[in-house]
Amino acid sequence: MDQVTVSDSEVPDPLEIPALAPGAMRASKPYGAAAEMQKPLGFPGALVENWQDKAIEKMAELRGKYRSFRLFLDACVKCGACTDKCHYFLGTGDPKNMPVARQDLLRQVYRRHFTLAGKYLPWLVGARDLSEEVLDDWYSYFHQCSQCRRCSVYCPIGIDTAEISMAGREIMDAVGKGQKYSNEIIGKVLRLGNNLGLSKKALQATLASLEEDVLEETGVPVRFPLDDEGADIMLVAPSADYFAEPHVAGLIGYAKVFHQAGASWTISSYAAEAANFGLFIGSYENMREIALRIRKAALDLGVKRLVFGECGHAWRVAYNFLNTLAGPFDFLDQRYPIPQHICEFTYDLMRAGRLTFDKSRNDHLRVTFHDSCNIARASRLGDRPGGQFEIPRAILKATCNHFFDMAADTIKESTLCCGGGGGLLTDELIDLRKKGAQPRMRALQQVAAEYGVTHMASMCAICKAQFSKVLPMYGFDMEAVVSLHQLVSNAIVLDRAGEASPKGQQ
Amino acid sequence: MLAAVYAVLLYVATAVFLGGLAVRVWQYASTPNPLKIVATPAPTTAAGVCLRLVREVAVFESLFKANKWIWLFGWTFHAALLVVVLRHLRYFTQPVWEWVALIQPLGVHAGFVMLASLLALWARRLVVARIRYISTPSDHLMLALLIAIAASGLAMKYAAPTDIVALKSFVLGLIYLDWQPLPADPPVLVHLGLVAVLMIVFPFSKLVHGPALLFSPTRAQVDDARERRHLVAWARALASER
């Protein structure tokens, strides 16, 4: 049983503003990418000799290709609205983790090279040359942004620091200074079709054992099909769903929903990955390569629909970019959203009265919900704006008797990042991840103290992995994070007729 | 001589302001958005996006969510500036439009409101450690410039009243290319000179944030990525390469 240990003292305000601690996180750096990780992505293997010139060239290129880059670097008025909005700033106090200061690391160099004032009066506008020290700061602090877009909600001009940190990483990749974690994973998905490097055989074995587990537990032969040609639906799930806890419990939930709906579905071994780390490094080309695998798999399997599993940034890429990167999807059934989210799929069935839930099966849980940033602020669920907040909550309320929201300024569009998004979910950054999780953890401690909340549901693979790691650091059980479809899985009543008669009790 | 110097200065400033701004707008409008990066929840129609932008421009919706003090000072400054600028139309029109005549008393008060909110913004910039940290000399100077413009303008009315009729005929002379003498009062010279500086600096500084907002992809895009394929020219070229 999970124990929540919140001391009697009052939980501090999740959004409490720390005193400035200059340089506190300067030493935080992810491991660098080795040459063999850089080259398959089209990047130089190591820092190139004339890296300053190359970086400026890359900036000029981005300035022509991305309006966001040019406009966001031009238009900031330094009003300070964003300064207390970043979870990494709240957790560390390092002023370079204030969104505007993070942007300024790039803006200073941009001004020096691309603005009149910066060229002739650099001291006036804080323009700087691209020195080794600046590059060092870029590497540190552009890897202390989880690209969660919380700051952009509050910016009067709509400046999004995620775009800046993506551009910063893209420039660094272009001069040969890549990050190991993201680039190694992109290499794996391009070679093997998933971030974990699972072979088709391993995947097959995993799915077969899940079928056995579910049959044993429920007595119902719920299938987990792989590469099933001619299936209607191709499920694209984050690869963590195949083996990690609590992710796999979510996958079982999707399978039960498909089963209950009588849907014909399959997973593709060629595109067994919803995640697309090309986003994190700002690389349109790599993001596109990964997205095209999904198109090819859908064509090869002859499916009619695409459904995505629970993964935040993957849904951003799927919802907003898939049509751009790998469309047009004129070969799919146009009566359904392309792509569709598993929550939309489940919610539609719920509304059609085709799912029955026994909520009491979740009575041992007192649940809150963590809105994942990329779903909350960078995409949508359903037909209406804000569906990304309403649909998961509707599913939770349909499957759980005890649901409680966290403080209003820490959820929905104001949601706090888990602290591990944007390509930072790597062991060497654990100190940063712990500190960045602090605001969310405090918000959770509040509802734990107030309502006795024991579990936090999430619909993002990165959030789930990050929380499993940091929850114990804040006095919670690592299993206090659950998949949204895990709760669906617990509560769903499997009573569809017409299936081969299950053995044992039902 | 003085009139000629100021006439040339104001012509140049106006040309730089309008030309520079046009170039900026063209740059923003013509630089592509290869991806849909709208900040959600977002409107799903163009009309909805227009409304969102109207709210951002008129009431600073996002800033209101962020910080009530910055919002209060920032919004009152901009609103007061708008009224003051409208009030100044009386110096450019003959006869003066009726509604411009009507808002004259309001405009005078707005001048003081503008000055007060600028001082408050500057105080925040100096006192709040986070905002002090992100400020460069130009951020302080920009406030100083605006404060000097407001103060010299108010001085023309209250401290050392100038011959406003003569000043108006100078301004009208600029418009109709029939140059008239300029009253040589120090507040007038300071006021006009600094306004010229502001106009010249405008397109090359953070002051472009106004027009930029209208082109900001997180605010000005429609949330319809699944319904409509969004593809820009350079991305299309990438697709045909293969």
Residue B49: the pLDDT is 98
Q: What is the mean pLDDT of residues B125-130?
A: 97
Residue A139: the pLDDT is 98
**A114 lies in the same domain as A238:** no
**A202 lies in the same domain as A158:** no
B32 interfaces chain A, CB cutoff of 8 Å: yes
Domain C-terminal end among A177, A204, A221: A177
Give me the residue spans of the domains in chain B. Answer: 2-241
**A320 lies in the same domain as A456:** yes
Identify which of B24, B226, B238 has the shortest CB distance to residue A319. Answer: B226
Residue A247 included in any domain: yes
Q: What is the mean pLDDT of residues A385-397?
A: 98
Residue A172 included in any domain: yes
- Calculate what percentage of chain A has a pLDDT beyond 90: 94
Identify which of A65, A126, A160 has the shortest CB distance to residue B218. Answer: A160
Domain C-terminal end among A125, A156, A177: A177
**A160 lies in the same domain as A270:** no
**A147 lies in the same domain as A195:** no
CA distance B220 to chain A (A): 9
pTM (2 d.p.): 0.95
Question: What is the CATH classification number for the domain harbouring A102?
Answer: 1.10.1060
Q: Which of B21, B205, B208, B216 to mutate to test the interface with A (most CBs of A within 10 A)?
A: B216
Q: If phi over 0 gives left and psi between -120 and 50 gives alpha, with beta otherwise, what is residue A169?
A: alpha
Report whether pLDDT(A5) > 90.
no
DSSP secondary structure, A384-446, as one string: STTHHHHHHHHHHHHH-S-B----GGGSGGGPPP-S-TTT--SGGGHHHHHHHHHHHHHHHHH
**A194 lies in the same domain as A108:** no
Residue range(s) defining the domain that contains residue A109: 44-177
Residue A34 included in any domain: no
Residue A112 included in any domain: yes
Report whether pLDDT(A321) > 90.
yes
Nearest residue of A to residue B25, measured between CA atoms:
A71
Q: From the CA atom positions of chain B, what is the Rg in Å?
A: 22
Residue A33 included in any domain: no
Binned at pLDDT 50, 70 and 90, residue B146 comes out as: very high
**A232 lies in the same domain as A156:** no
* Domain count along chain A: 2
Residue A465: the pLDDT is 98
Domain B2-241 carries which CATH code? 1.20.950.20
Q: Which of A144, A139, A159, A172 is nearest to A62 (CA)?
A: A172
pLDDT digits over A336-348, tens only? 999 999 999 999 9
Q: Which of A493, A367, A324 is nearest to B229 (CA)?
A: A324
Residue A497: the pLDDT is 56
Contact between A75 and B66 using a beta-carbon 8 Å cutoff = no
Per CB-CB distance under 8 Å, the chain B contacts of A324 are: 34-36, 225, 229-231, 235
Residue A201 CA, distance from chain mean position: 27
Interface predicted TM-score (ipTM) of this complex, two decimals: 0.95
Residue A25 included in any domain: no
CA distance B240 to chain A (A): 12
Per CB-CB distance under 8 Å, the chain B contacts of A85 are: 66
**A69 lies in the same domain as A146:** yes
Per CB-CB distance under 8 Å, the chain A contacts of B146 are: none
**A152 lies in the same domain as A200:** no
Residue A17 included in any domain: no
Residue A76 included in any domain: yes
CA distance B2 to chain A (A): 29
Report whether pLDDT(A96) > 60.
yes
**A241 lies in the same domain as A380:** yes
Contacts with A, B 131-190, CB within 8 Å: 131, 133-139, 141
Domain C-terminal end among A155, A177, A199: A177
Report whether pLDDT(A8) > 70.
no
pLDDT digits over B175-195, tens only? 999 999 999 999 999 999 999
Report whether pLDDT(A502) > 60.
no
- Looking at per-residue confidence, does B94 or A157 come out higher? A157
